[in-house]
Structure 1
Amino acid sequence: MSMQRNRRFLTGSAGLALAILANPAFAADAAPQAGATTPEPGEIIVTAQRRAEKVTEVPISITVADSAQLERQQIDTVGDLARIAPSLEINTAAGQSTGGGGSIRGIGTQTFSAGAVPSVGIVVDQVSQGNANISDLFDVARVEVLKGPQGTLFGLTTSAGVINITTNKPEFGVFSLRMRTEMSGGGVAGSLFGDQVVQGVMNIPLAPTAALRISGFSNTRQGPDYDLTTRQYDANDTFGFRGHLLWEPNDALTVNLIGDYSRTRTTNGGDFFTFVKADGANLNPVVPFPLPDNVAANLASCGITPGFGNRNFCSAANSFVDRNETGGVSLQLDYKTEPFTITSITAYRTSLESGYGAASNVFRADPLELQVFNGPVNHPIYLLTQELRVSSPANQLIEYTAGLFFSSQIQHAAAETTDVFIHPAPGVLIPVNLGGTGEYRVTDTSGAIFGQATIHATPKLRLIVGGRYTKDNLRLGTTADAIPASTNSYTALDVNKFSWKLGAQYDVAARTMVYGTVTRGFKGGQISNPSGEVPHVIQPEVPTAYELGLKSTLFRSWVLDTNLFYEKVQNFQAQNCTSNAVGSLSCAQTNIDGVKTRGAEINLFGKVTQNLSLNTGFIWAKATYPAGFRGTDGSDLGNTQLANSPEYKFTMSGEYSVPVSQTVNGFLAADTIWKSRVSYEQTSVAQSTFGPHWTVGGRVGVRTADSRFTVAVFARNLFNVHEPILFQSGFPYNGASNIGAFYGPNGFRQVGLSLDGKF
């Protein structure tokens, strides 16, 4: 979208919004959601324990963001969720295969390993997403960030925590429409890239006890990376939809049928490597043509100036298109029969990729002597899950949830190769075949029986006991020629594991509760399949976590959630990425025994007054490698902070509204994050860390008194702080002399206009 078109669109949209605001008679009153738990005024209801409960009564540290907070902070993707909770970080680097790559309290999994599963599970409408999770967030009612191992009730992909997402349910007896947009253009009003987000919702009543809700979105982004050769931003376009049918044929049975689909189309390289450091002449070690390669001079010849925040690249070979399609369907049946409720959830999800997965030209710099080109990628994922559980009524002597769970995830990778092309002389290309990873198929089958109970020992004291027995079977099969010195290689890992939870909670006052828990978690193993090497087993990750917490309701409905925690992880699953002799990025997975995280966290969220909403939090999370641990550069990293994990983090989001007339209110919103220094690799290279920094944004606007129509001007990363997604030293070689970075939209300033209308 050109700058002129951006200006015309933004101007026209502003005029439309003002016209809508001047005619509030178009609005219709909203009806309460069918089947939803109705809280008392000011109470926050969550489903962190697989049942609807007040957040202040759940003995788990939780950060909650409702739809209003998500929209004012413009949380449009899973990657944006790191802005709502101080304990949560999400790495969205290209090619990650672990369902979002999140970490909580410093513990998480970022890997390219086949069949690896996340440490932070993403659950949408009670369905585990595995590695086929949604990417964009739209029509969401609530997000709960559950900290610490959650394996007892949520399964084997939750050893660090859970991101529990609940979308809006259909409403009975109401036909309604809603449209919301967020519009920005590169070069318009100081915005350094363009992004146009459009979301729509339609609610259709089908019968007195049946309704259909259809929601969709389009997210078209230009940049932030910019190709100096083609004079174009990289393009990242995503669209998708969700259909939700709610039917209550009688008082006992509730049926929820949900289907979703999204497609992402990336051109011109997408969010991929750019050079942030390149020092002088380096000897290209490639055999048989070792060449002097002056990286800095070659980059300068096409206009690239390496430095922190550099988003420019120059490559004519990145005009390919990469597509990723993700979707699924789930059927949930809830049947109430005295004295319990039976729930069955059957779900199937897929993720299909066709293209290159990342930039075909890894360095995206045509003048370099060394060129590395990725081959095509096709990694389809198929996930089938079935859960059957029984839940007792609330407020009984013994409240319980028990059930059975089965999952089967299959990832099949077609053969791929990575070729290196060397320039021994002008106009001459010498190919070197690295062999790639070959064709393989990973199957991960898991079955479990689980249960958790809360025993009301006294009116104020409650005891918690829970357990889960999991049988996990992981298989990697490859073709005969996929791995050197191996014929029809077939690697397997079979695990039987018991995870558990014990605890107690006590009501010290009418609106204050304290609790203590100890939890043993579990995350399944991996099979590492590095390029050109024989596969090997990565053992399951087993954390043991201790937590003491306090929850209270302050003022009108402001929730205080504070805790102390200590966690030690047996066989922490880590990934080491280094640049090999020919400049290609090589990543290997490994277990690290004795990783620890400990610290304290405080969160405050909800309404302070009728006009002021404030969500804020601070965490100290000392997450460290064990004593004597050696990094990929051979340095001693023992007792230092884990990669991708800030030791300190502060978040704050708030909105204050005031009436400006009888029909219109004005509002001012702020959104800020502070992080301590973060290292992005397991080395002592100072240049691959990012120092302490603030990221500040906000919105100012007006809305009708009935909240039907809103228009606002917004800014994200107002001061243009270039926080990366990752750094990689040795890019393409010589360690700290050359460093590459991934930058995403959160690393550059964005200014735009948001519009919202409900009909």
Structure 2
Amino acid sequence: MSRVLLLAGAAPLALLAFSANAFAATAEDDAAPVAERTSAGTGQSDDETIVVTARRRQETAQDVPLAISVVGGDHIDSTGSFNVGRLQQLTPTLQFYSSNPRNTSVNIRGLGAPLGLTNDGIEQGVGIYVDDVYMARVASSTFDFLDVKQIEVLRGPQGTLYGKNTTAGAINITTRQPTFTPEGRAEISVGNLGFMQAKAALSGPISDTLAARLAVSSTRRDGTILNVVTGQKINEQDNLGIRGQLLFKPSDSVAFTLAGDFSRQNPRCCAQIYVRTGTTQRSLDRQYAALAALQGYSVPSTDAFDRLTDVDAPLRAKNKIGGVSLRGVIETGIGTITSITAWRHWDWDPSNDRDFLGLPITTKSNNPSKQDQYTQELRLTGETGRVGYVLGAFGFYQKIRTQGIQSQGPAASAWLIKPSDPLSKDPTVLDGLTARNDISLKNTSAAVFGQLTFKITDAFKIQPGFRVNYDKKVGDYSSVVTDGTGKLVVFKSAAQGGNSSREKAQLAVLAPQQFNVRFSDWNFSYDVTASYDVARDVHAYATYAHTFKSGGVNLNGVPTDSTGMPLLELATVKPETVNHFEAGLKTQFWDRKATFNLSIFRTEIENYQAQVSNYTVGALRGYLANADKVRTQGVEFDFSARPSERFNVYGNGAYTDATYRKFVNAPCPPELSGGSQPVDASGNLTATPSAPGTPGGVSPLSCNISGQRLPGVSKWSFSYGAEANAPVALFGTDGQVYLGFDGNYRSDFSSNPTPSAYTNVDGYALSNFRLGYRTDNGFDIYGWVRNAFDVNYYEQLAVASGNTGLIVGQPGDPRTWGVTFKASF
């Protein structure tokens, strides 16, 4: 690996040496600055053609033969879409779920990562890139966008050019670059709930060949949920970010950009609160109502939209991320050579309440984690005759260390041990029971890739691509359990006298475990796209892609046998195999004042990496296993129009049918879990499973959920908006008064890996308005209201551990309002 890192550092120097003989070429420069453009939501430009770098070179959004949504920086700002969670309101097939920064999932078309993924040894399926630098930790998606010029959401597998972690798509973020012409911008917003956001950026020359840019951003907002015990507002926002860049451009054919950034979050966050209860197959005395009555407990409100909680563990979500990158671009006679060398660091320091109640059941459940990531990409982009090409290599190395703790409190015995067991009356059995986890991962990956474009005729092109990828993961997991006196709690064999009833009760809640695991694999991805220009402004394309998502290792603990030994066959997860088919049509009409794009797709995945939830009282919060096959298919459209400079309108929509095609041994939903499971000598169930939600019933050993919906994806989703303006002159300055509207709708979706009647989230529609005045010289002031009709909706629901029937969730933001001032020069 030291050789890999040495080469990574040497690559930009090699480029500099090579530049002595470099000269300007006709190939497109993928580092050249693009004039500022403002989208109308889906790629319709306010003034010029929108340029994207989705295929690692500059081309217009309409010419790219793939499904892509483009949102400009000004549109992001005006709609308040300052992170990926808000961005999903503008792009219907993007799904974002986050119970805290580490437990975050970003999906496209229902694929990407299981909801609530906390497993360090598994990859994401939607790649996030900022200025060509890959962000391996999805926690980066929870930060505010910083000085962003444009965001491209690429839908469908992008494994050829973007790699193994893009089986569902990619989010390609481009920031504003240093300029040799002085420019600056500043923005401040204030609103209800104590909201205050400030952004500023300054760019300009230091010399004839050196330019710099500095950008900062800060966001604060009170929490939306009141803790009635402490009087504190929780689930607040507290973000700070800074980015600096130096551009060295000794000639028109050579450019080097050194960039560094740091972002910090430190909110009082993140709590999921009581939503409802549902009957499981546990005996009635072990379900929520009876357990709460036994301790004389009641939640502050059974209506989550009262936004009240009494969680008794301290909340903390300290999240730091940053890094440095060096990007070199040289124009040569054979094309554009680009090198991107980067180091990223992530530091996560949480404190959670994982019993979700005001009872001291679980008093600590924290998994602080640190990561260092090194990447190097080198590619050549060019064109000769009727052949265009992108050739490249990519190296990746990642180190992760997570040291966590889980402790039980004085209410744990009564809540987690059978009420008929005398031990449930003894708080000391579980009080102070603690598991200390030590998890590490070393992740190495290398790839070579290429994509060619053959211009068979001026109108017809064929574009094949390939990527050869090698992965190696080495993981270690250790969990040491001690009781309230500090004594080790371990599994004892019969020869050792076996475990006492007290120890058995403790081991049923927190079990020690230790294992080492390795995974390595070669994979080959390929795709082919055919595109045809039916007319100047009508483009058709069809794509087939065969790609994969890397296998991995389960580093959140695995199930054990009866002696407490980990089942190591479950410690590794097979790679996903993806076959993708897509066809699309891109059109412009009305003298290019309107755009309408349509795509149809079908993606099939074998060995899908599915989250397996654990509804027992044990410490496992979930692990990953392979489902046989899933499929997502559907239709998407993007429409936007600007009939005049006084009005623009857009509407995007998607129908997505995402289902498990074959998953016969899936975990059962809570309503079918927790009951008895009598088996014969062969392990087969000897009784007929009871109806869902039958207290004290018989539970199946597993469930066949083939044909049921994947979590987190709505069948129907839409985003839409419009803006109208009228010329006005105030104080001798020409300007415009404008009124804007943005809305989105999504139908209901499952919020549990196995669909459950208790965790289905109802569909909802959100509406946002803005009214303002802007001048031609860069001043803008507007008032805004988001979720204008104060719709009650849930971002996510979850099943609390223990299978008591408790369902918790995150209420979405209520109506918010405020005013924004912007100025630029």
TM-score between both structures, scaled by the size of structure 2: 0.79
Listed one character per residue, the Cα deviations across residues 9-57 of structure 1 (whole Å, up to 9, x for unaligned) are xxxxxxxxxxxxxxxxxxxxxxxx9932469952110000000001111
Q: What's the RMSD between the two structures over aligned residues?
A: 2.8
Tell me which amino acid in the other structure corresponds to 1:94: N
Is contact 2:628–2:663 with CA below 8 Å preserved after alignment?
A: no
Match in the other structure for 2:468 = 469
The separation in 1 between residues aligned to 2:296 and 2:808, in whole angstroms, is 16
Tell me which amino acid in the other structure corresponds to 1:654: A
Match in the other structure for 1:390 = 380
Q: Write out aligned runs for 1:536-685 (5 A).
A: 536-555=571-590, 556-581=592-617, 586-605=621-640, 607-627=642-662, 629=664, 630-633=666-669, 634=672, 636-661=704-729, 663-685=734-756
Q: Are residue 329 (structure 1) and residue 324 (structure 2) matched?
A: yes
TM-score between both structures, scaled by the size of structure 1: 0.86
Is contact 1:265–1:323 with CA below 8 Å preserved after alignment?
A: yes
The separation in 1 between residues aligned to 2:596 and 2:385, in whole angstroms, is 26
Match of 1:674, SS state, is strand
Q: Write out aligned runs for 1:360-399 (5 A).
A: 361-366=353-358, 368=359, 371-393=361-383, 396-399=385-388
The separation in 2 between residues aligned to 1:590 and 1:120, in whole angstroms, is 19
Match of 1:613, SS state, is strand
Q: Are residue 140 (structure 1) and residue 148 (structure 2) matched?
A: yes
Is contact 2:389–2:452 with CA below 8 Å preserved after alignment?
A: yes
Match of 2:226, SS state, is strand
1:141–1:451: structure 2 CA closer, same or farther, 3 Å change rule?
same
1:614–1:480: structure 2 CA closer, same or farther, 3 Å change rule?
closer
Q: CA deviation at 1:507?
A: 0.4
The separation in 1 between residues aligned to 2:448 and 2:340, in whole angstroms, is 15
1:118–1:607: structure 2 CA closer, same or farther, 3 Å change rule?
farther
The range that moved more, 693-702 or 275-284, is: 275-284
The separation in 1 between residues aligned to 2:220 and 2:556, in whole angstroms, is 34
Is contact 2:634–2:657 with CA below 8 Å preserved after alignment?
A: yes
Is contact 1:182–1:754 with CA below 8 Å preserved after alignment?
A: yes
Tell me which amino acid in the other structure corresponds to 2:795: I
Is contact 1:278–1:306 with CA below 8 Å preserved after alignment?
A: no
Tell me which amino acid in the other structure corresponds to 1:374: K
Match of 1:687, SS state, is coil
1:722–1:576: structure 2 CA closer, same or farther, 3 Å change rule?
farther
Listed one character per residue, the Cα deviations across residues 144-174 of structure 1 (whole Å, up to 9, x for unaligned) are 1101110100111111000010011111131
Is contact 2:477–2:555 with CA below 8 Å preserved after alignment?
A: no
Give the alignment partner of residue 105 of structure 1, picking from 100, 103, 109. 109
Match in the other structure for 1:747 = 813
Q: Write out aligned runs for 1:175-574 (5 A).
A: 176-186=183-193, 194-234=194-234, 235-267=236-268, 270-278=269-277, 285=286, 292-294=291-293, 298-300=297-299, 304-318=300-314, 321-356=316-351, 359=352, 361-366=353-358, 368=359, 371-393=361-383, 396-422=385-411, 431-432=430-431, 436=435, 438-479=437-478, 489-531=515-557, 533=559, 534=566, 536-555=571-590, 556-574=592-610
Q: CA deviation at 1:399?
A: 0.4
Please identify the structure whose Cα radius of gyration is greater.
2
Is contact 2:554–2:623 with CA below 8 Å preserved after alignment?
A: yes
Match of 2:161, SS state, is helix
Tell me which amino acid in the other structure corresponds to 1:183: V
Q: CA deviation at 1:63?
A: 0.6
Q: CA deviation at 1:249?
A: 0.7
Match of 2:188, SS state, is strand
The separation in 2 between residues aligned to 1:447 and 1:434, in whole angstroms, is 43
Is contact 1:203–1:212 with CA below 8 Å preserved after alignment?
A: yes
Q: CA deviation at 1:313?
A: 0.7
Q: CA deviation at 1:711?
A: 1.2
Q: Write out aligned runs for 1:29-68 (5 A).
A: 35-37=32-34, 42-68=48-74
Tell me which amino acid in the other structure corresponds to 2:597: D
Q: CA deviation at 1:355?
A: 3.8
Tell me which amino acid in the other structure corresponds to 1:220: R
Is contact 2:130–2:175 with CA below 8 Å preserved after alignment?
A: yes
Q: CA deviation at 1:557?
A: 4.1
Tell me which amino acid in the other structure corresponds to 2:48: G
Q: Write out aligned runs for 1:704-715 (5 A).
A: 704-706=775-777, 708-715=778-785
Q: Which runs of 5+ in 2 are unaligned?
A: 1-29, 38-44, 415-423, 482-488, 492-511, 560-565, 673-702
Tell me which amino acid in the other structure corresponds to 2:86: D
Q: Which runs of 5+ in 1 are unaligned?
A: 1-32, 187-193
Is contact 2:601–2:634 with CA below 8 Å preserved after alignment?
A: yes
The range that moved more, 609-618 or 536-545, is: 609-618
Match in the other structure for 1:114 = 120
Is contact 1:62–1:561 with CA below 8 Å preserved after alignment?
A: no
Is contact 2:121–2:555 with CA below 8 Å preserved after alignment?
A: no
Q: CA deviation at 1:640?
A: 2.2
Q: CA deviation at 1:531?
A: 4.1
Match of 1:459, SS state, is coil
Match of 1:734, SS state, is coil
Listed one character per residue, the Cα deviations across residues 486-527 of structure 1 (whole Å, up to 9, x for unaligned) are 997320111100000112100000111100110112211221
Q: CA deviation at 1:68?
A: 2.2
The separation in 2 between residues aligned to 1:491 and 1:253, in whole angstroms, is 45
Q: CA deviation at 1:115?
A: 2.4
Tell me which amino acid in the other structure corresponds to 2:210: A
Tell me which amino acid in the other structure corresponds to 2:379: R
The separation in 2 between residues aligned to 1:60 and 1:731, in whole angstroms, is 42
Residues matched between the structures, number = 696
Is contact 1:115–1:411 with CA below 8 Å preserved after alignment?
A: no
The separation in 1 between residues aligned to 2:432 and 2:583, in whole angstroms, is 55
Listed one character per residue, the Cα deviations across residues 448-494 of structure 1 (whole Å, up to 9, x for unaligned) are 00000110011110011100000011110235959988997320111
Listed one character per residue, the Cα deviations across residues 372-430 of structure 1 (whole Å, up to 9, x for unaligned) are 1224432101110000111114x841000001100011111124234343265999665
Q: CA deviation at 1:645?
A: 0.7
The separation in 2 between residues aligned to 1:34 and 1:480, in whole angstroms, is 48
Q: CA deviation at 1:579?
A: 3.9
The separation in 1 between residues aligned to 2:435 and 2:369, in whole angstroms, is 14
The separation in 2 between residues aligned to 1:703 and 1:480, in whole angstroms, is 59
Listed one character per residue, the Cα deviations across residues 538-589 of structure 1 (whole Å, up to 9, x for unaligned) are 111221110000111233443322111011011111213344326x672121
Match of 1:641, SS state, is coil
The separation in 1 between residues aligned to 2:425 and 2:220, in whole angstroms, is 39
Match in the other structure for 1:697 = 768
Overall identity of the aligned pairs, in %: 25
Q: CA deviation at 1:354?
A: 2.5
Tell me which amino acid in the other structure corresponds to 1:392: G
Is contact 1:95–1:112 with CA below 8 Å preserved after alignment?
A: no
Is contact 2:214–2:242 with CA below 8 Å preserved after alignment?
A: yes
Q: CA deviation at 1:692?
A: 2.3
The separation in 2 between residues aligned to 1:710 and 1:755, in whole angstroms, is 6
Match in the other structure for 1:716 = 786
Is contact 1:484–1:532 with CA below 8 Å preserved after alignment?
A: no
Listed one character per residue, the Cα deviations across residues 52-75 of structure 1 (whole Å, up to 9, x for unaligned) are 001111111001111121112111
The separation in 2 between residues aligned to 1:426 and 1:162, in whole angstroms, is 53
Tell me which amino acid in the other structure corresponds to 1:678: F
Is contact 2:399–2:441 with CA below 8 Å preserved after alignment?
A: yes
Q: Are residue 157 (structure 1) and residue 146 (structure 2) matched?
A: no
The separation in 1 between residues aligned to 2:271 and 2:530, in whole angstroms, is 47
Is contact 2:711–2:755 with CA below 8 Å preserved after alignment?
A: no
Is contact 1:469–1:498 with CA below 8 Å preserved after alignment?
A: yes
Tell me which amino acid in the other structure corresponds to 2:332: T
Q: CA deviation at 1:684?
A: 4.3
Tell me which amino acid in the other structure corresponds to 2:363: F
